Structure 1
């Protein structure tokens, strides 16, 4: 091919150590603007089968389906907290502390599920693991529905939670892979928004189903929803793992960098058309099992990156707060002086839709716009740390929410029931924000090691939150609601203060991390 033909093949981001793309050689700090226009990062290829070249409607369909999967996963693992009084009545002869294992253990096993599945997604692909997770949810959903004792129920939920764990890492990873850097926060916020709205609606269903009909029908409804999701996902959630290794001669010049808003030419004559047969194929990649070992090694290295270590602690603290409140708010509101009926508890959850109305425009699109604005101020240079500034307001709100929730729980006669409901949603917004920003930062800062670092964040926070939430009942007995919430508020506040040096030292930390942990990428 001549030079003119080669110029039509757009620059693609190389994933091999040899290919030295801009995001790697500058350690996550990149030139986002060129001549006033946004540069597409990663650069899409001219291959119609490149996930970055999927039509917009298909991308939103993928966001919708992985969002619905995540909504069901979140409900299945944490939904019983809203009807815990009813669950306790289901097992009158068992220790209440052991019954709460139905709520606390799922967090731990979601982390274990990630630990097993994420390396496989880099070896055999995202699509087979996602579809298998849905299938495993169906099997364990029926198991839980027809369990005959608490031990069997706990075992079934634990395996159910392992299958649900992909909602934490794989699902957002899929969303990130089909979008460009400048739109990641907004598209990820749509994913989280769909997950949140779906979970809120299903929580209302939970409040109307569990007390009168029991846990069996609750699990059956969830399982049938998963079956529908599996069928749709088989047709629409295509493989998003894409090898971008190119020889140096196939890389376009700097002047031909693809820009946002400009039409890009595809080359089906070179790569072939995207077909239905291609999309429905489950396995697209020959397994490279050495990647599993490399993945675990990269994950271990991730714990030595101060910024990533801080993000996973931060996420763990927020998740611990959310699980604590999700497992206690029903108990508080159903007791005097509030005396809520069971069916009203689900409507408390429905206000999470209002949280989404804040999350998507302000923290989704807002974070992307703010990061772009900061980049323009710095001469078009983008730094992943710009996104961390969006954590300030939600973190302050979470600290205040913890204090208010604790005081209301300890002294219910002195406070309105909104002292429980409002802080619950304030802290939930904080958790969603920490999740959104943490995932996006990891992908932006270390694009070639994104999967391993998402593992660090998701598995790490799962273990941290498990430790915090597992102590819920003992801590309440020892310190009361106010004491427990004050401890969590102090942890979140302390981690927020630690974020100040993280922001300013982030670029140096990224540079040191790549040179020290992955010298082949430097």
Structure 2
């Protein structure tokens, strides 16, 4: 029972479990007769690389550090832009609804609701295409679509046309929400993912939080058209970054030892199994683990091509069904619930800010309503800086105490911060607004706590899913984003009226209670998570659709 996690006695090796830190590790953990020197390590020689890279120079795990970091910079900027365009107009919902001559609830539904439901549908469709032809063509096409839709929204003259532009925006936003975690898993090793997942979350949450302060002032002193034109320019820059700094990360890996996704301690493919000696007990020699790659490295100009030639031969319709199958995994069920509530509550706050702070006793202007998000951005930034040392640090520490063996459940203790900060923040938010306390209390203290907890919590959820189901991570995040956005879409139908009918205290007390209830499910997930991963593998819950020809 490693650190409270129930062991599984059904499989020799549970997918997701892997040797990580060899300090104090017993050789029995990777097989009695297997030379541990065959495993590739990081530059320090202390941490086993999970997953094990191949010998090919084109394997994304073998990219140079600067290439990986620039890829991550594009992720941060791109997710920031995508995060910003969604709530860009929310500080001005009340005056814009009057300008277009529609009720606030209908304007919210047409402007944000259409965008959200399009994200949900596109999460499934774009994932299907990405699995078939790779992620780069999807990133390129949708980034171009985002630029076009922003310029379209800037020139509309009717509410229907604005809703149409927002629908296109939502469709093109999905890849930078649903595919990015899988891209992170494509290039970064397990012990490096916590910080990069936090950067992904900072991009999305930072964009959401900075959109209000910037757009609020632009809309108040200029117009929403100027804000949309500026957003379109940001996406043009993003398109250039994707073209030059974001090569294809999907890769058919050959000749690499599999130490984390199979039911054996070490699984080999056809290129490496020929070099394994079978004499009573399995023994692997360092010099014969794999055949050196003869694959020539791709040139920079080859990587600039819109399509790398990557192709998956599974049928389109079977690929389309993949996301709906992975939800059968208890890990994905839990992650979907937490991810949905984490992000949807932020959507709820964003579409009610104008309703709350534009009214008495605060009477904020459009720019002031937007500025309320500054504290949220600062909290998200603090959460990002803390996520790397906390999430990856906890994993390394617990793996060392577990005789060097990594369990994906070691990502979950960080969820304590989600309960403490986010739930407390929601209760305090509802109470402070009910008591009409000075604006720094709800804006700085409460929103800061909410966003700090959500940043740490979502980073933990993202990395746990990547570690548990690395090979199906794209499908996992596609269904997670689909459900999250459909739930958020539902919120747009009633949230403004909910606050109007029951008041902010009752509304956010309910949300705080739901947050605690959902987060407490992390305890059984931590205890039974390893057995859940074993159950999914043994009963082939995913393979029946995911790996069939």
Could you tell me the TM-score, scaled by structure 2's length?
0.83
Alpha-carbon contact 1:182-1:368 (below 8 Å) kept: yes
- Residue in 1 that maps onto 2:186: 177
- Residue in 1 that maps onto 2:213: 204
Gap change, CA 1:427 and 1:466, over 3 Å in 2 = farther
The question of 1:470 aligning with 2:493 is answered yes
The alignment of Structure 1 onto Structure 2 pairs a total of residues equal to 489
Measured against aligned partners, the alpha-carbon deviations of 1:44-80 in whole angstroms (never above 9, x if no partner) come to 2222211112222221211111221111111111222
RMSD: 2.5
- Residue in 2 that maps onto 1:237: 246
Cα distance in structure 2, aligned partners of 1:291 and 1:393:
42
Gap change, CA 1:518 and 1:193, over 3 Å in 2 = closer
- Residue in 2 that maps onto 1:109: 118
- Residue in 1 that maps onto 2:306: 282
- Residue in 2 that maps onto 1:27: 15
Name the stretch that deviates more: 55-64 or 432-441.
432-441
Alpha-carbon contact 1:322-1:424 (below 8 Å) kept: no
- Residue in 1 that maps onto 2:416: 392
- Aligned-pair CA distance for 1:188: 1.9
- Aligned-pair CA distance for 1:181: 0.6
- Residue in 1 that maps onto 2:36: none
- Residue in 2 that maps onto 1:302: 326
Segments of structure 2 that go 5 or more residues without pairing to the other structure are: 1-10, 25-45, 256-268, 277-283
Name the stretch that deviates more: 147-156 or 129-138.
147-156
SS of the counterpart of 1:34? coil
Cα distance in structure 2, aligned partners of 1:55 and 1:124:
24
Gap change, CA 1:519 and 1:233, over 3 Å in 2 = closer
- Residue in 2 that maps onto 1:58: 67
Q: How does 1:396-411 map to 2 (within 5 A)?
A: 396-411=420-435
Higher helix share: 1
- Residue in 2 that maps onto 1:500: 523
Cα distance in structure 1, aligned partners of 2:216 and 2:328:
43
Which residue of 192, 199, 212 corresponds with 2:201? 192
Q: How does 1:93-172 map to 2 (within 5 A)?
A: 93-101=101-109, 102-172=111-181
SS of the counterpart of 1:340? coil
Alpha-carbon contact 2:426-2:511 (below 8 Å) kept: yes
Cα distance in structure 1, aligned partners of 2:188 and 2:312:
25
Which residue of 379, 382, 396 corresponds with 1:358? 382
Cα distance in structure 1, aligned partners of 2:518 and 2:348:
18
Cα distance in structure 1, aligned partners of 2:362 and 2:420:
28
- Residue in 1 that maps onto 2:270: 248
SS of the counterpart of 1:328? helix
Measured against aligned partners, the alpha-carbon deviations of 1:442-494 in whole angstroms (never above 9, x if no partner) come to 11001121111112222122222322343202211321111211221121111
- Aligned-pair CA distance for 1:195: 4.4
- Aligned-pair CA distance for 1:244: 0.7
The question of 1:89 aligning with 2:110 is answered no
SS of the counterpart of 2:157? coil
Name the stretch that deviates more: 433-442 or 339-348.
339-348
- Aligned-pair CA distance for 1:380: 1.1
Which residue of 477, 480, 490 corresponds with 1:457? 480
- Aligned-pair CA distance for 1:187: 1.8
Gap change, CA 1:464 and 1:198, over 3 Å in 2 = closer
Cα distance in structure 2, aligned partners of 1:24 and 1:175:
28
Cα distance in structure 2, aligned partners of 1:470 and 1:318:
19
Alpha-carbon contact 1:334-1:342 (below 8 Å) kept: yes
Name the stretch that deviates more: 346-355 or 131-140.
346-355
Cα distance in structure 1, aligned partners of 2:327 and 2:183:
23
- Aligned-pair CA distance for 1:249: 4.0
Which residue of 29, 39, 47 corresponds with 1:38? 47
SS of the counterpart of 1:379? coil
Alpha-carbon contact 1:24-1:446 (below 8 Å) kept: no
Gap change, CA 1:395 and 1:158, over 3 Å in 2 = farther
Which residue of 380, 394, 397 corresponds with 1:373? 397
Cα distance in structure 2, aligned partners of 1:382 and 1:403:
36
Gap change, CA 1:460 and 1:171, over 3 Å in 2 = same
SS of the counterpart of 1:135? helix
